[in-house]
Amino acid sequence: MSNNYVRPFLKWAGGKFRLLPHILPRLPKGKRLIEPFAGSGVVFLNTDYDTYQLNDTNPDLINLYKILKKEKSDFIAYTEQYFKAKYNNAKQYYSLRDEFNNTEDLCKRSALFIYLNRHCYNGLCRYNSQGIFNVPFGDYVKPYFPEKEMLYFAKKAKRAVFTCHDFSKSMQKSKSGDVIYCDPPYVPWSDTAYFTNYYHKHFPLEQQEALTKIAVQLSQKNITVLISNHHTDYTEQLYNNAEIFSFDVQRNIGCVSAKRGKVKELIAKF
């Protein structure tokens, strides 16, 4: 992996940092990049469009991005207090996790979101059916505080608008000259491997099909849409109107490291 790529400040399950060599060459030029499933923002960080619209259904994520854009170094300094050694233990972690789940202070909640992201198990972002963040303590020796990465994000965020709504709303507002990159929750590669609790809303196959339908409609208006997903028989049929690029990817999410292997993924270009 080239050292020229910019890393996001958040750890992210399903993040696309390793896929940048596959994604970036297939993104055409345009005035604005729209990401209906923004996640860690790694594609945003490694492209150079005039403007961006970054959307996600997770309000904690979008509120964090908005606050970081507005407050910049002041918010970064505020967040750093939670990366002191005294907070890196299970007792403090669960206390701060409870505080995150109960506070109405958006600045504190955003700072604690970063703390949880760096201190929780595998950097997962998981909520229960009531919207309560419930990932256990990760027990890392010295969690990294991503000050430089946050500063870079804050500077580039001047070009971005952050929204929190359904993916279809982001896509339907696109105009000629826009480029759309979609990284939806992936379809399962097996019956037992459906990771659906990134946020407490699920993304069933009907949503995959709705996303594809919109991509087809927009492509007819000269708006390029790229979609990432697992390469399965289902997605091959789902994206039969698109140009498909297939490749192997190292899987990093799993309880047992020995069982983390390669899976086949694809990019569908409409």
Report yes or no: 98 and 108 within 8 Å, Cβ to Cβ: no
pTM of the complete model: 0.91
- Domains identified in the chain, total number: 2
Q: Are residues 70 and 204 in the same domain?
A: no
Residue 218 lies in a domain: yes
Parent domain of 77: 66-147
Per-residue confidence (pLDDT) for residue 262, from 0 to 100:
82
Residue 34 lies in a domain: yes
145 vs 11, 99, 155, CA distance in Å? Answer: 11, 20, 18
Residue 36 lies in a domain: yes
Q: Are residues 48 and 180 in the same domain?
A: yes
What does the pLDDT average to over 146-151?
A: 98
Instruction: Please indicate whether residue 11 or residue 1 has the higher confidence score (pLDDT).
Output: 11
Per-residue confidence (pLDDT) for residue 196, from 0 to 100:
45
Of 30, 4, 37, 64, which Cα lies nearest the Cα of 167?
37
- The DSSP letter of residue 120 is B
Q: Pick the last residue of a domain from 117, 147, 177.
A: 147
Q: Are residues 88 and 205 in the same domain?
A: no
50 vs 31, 180, 190, CA distance in Å? Answer: 5, 14, 40
What does the pLDDT average to over 90-117?
A: 98
Residue 7 lies in a domain: no
Distance CA 18, CA 221 (A): 31
Q: Are residues 170 and 263 in the same domain?
A: yes
Dihedral, CA atoms, 40, 42, 45, 47, nearest 10 degrees? -140
Q: Are residues 182 and 239 in the same domain?
A: yes
Residue 249 lies in a domain: yes
pLDDT tops 50 at residue 93? yes
Q: Are residues 207 and 122 in the same domain?
A: no
Residue 5 lies in a domain: no
CATH classification of the domain holding 134: 1.10.1020.10
Q: Are residues 43 and 71 in the same domain?
A: no
Give the model confidence (pLDDT) of 169-205 as tens digits: 999 999 999 999 999 999 987 654 544 444 445 789 9
CATH classification of the domain holding 244: 3.40.50.150
List, in order, residues 6 or more apart from 242 with CB less than 8 Å away.
215, 227, 268, 269, 270
Distance CA 110, CA 51 (A): 24
Strand-pairing partners, residue 230, are 265
Give the model confidence (pLDDT) of 225-234 as tens digits: 999 999 999 9
Q: Are residues 36 and 125 in the same domain?
A: no
Q: Are residues 70 and 30 in the same domain?
A: no
**Mean pLDDT over all residues of the chain?**
92
Q: Are residues 259 and 169 in the same domain?
A: yes
Report yes or no: 63 and 109 within 8 Å, Cβ to Cβ: yes
What does the pLDDT average to over 108-128?
A: 97
Structure tokens of 128?
């229960």
Q: Pick the last residue of a domain from 121, 147, 173.
A: 147
What does the pLDDT average to over 220-244?
A: 96
Report yes or no: 199 and 126 within 8 Å, Cβ to Cβ: no
pLDDT tops 90 at residue 95? yes
Q: Are residues 174 and 96 in the same domain?
A: no
Distance CA 14, CA 183 (A): 9
Residue 159 lies in a domain: no
Q: Which long-range contacts (CB under 8 A, 24 or more apart) does 241-245 make?
A: 241/216, 241/270, 242/215, 242/268, 242/269, 242/270, 243/268, 243/269, 244/268, 244/269, 245/22, 245/26, 245/269
Q: Are residues 172 and 238 in the same domain?
A: yes
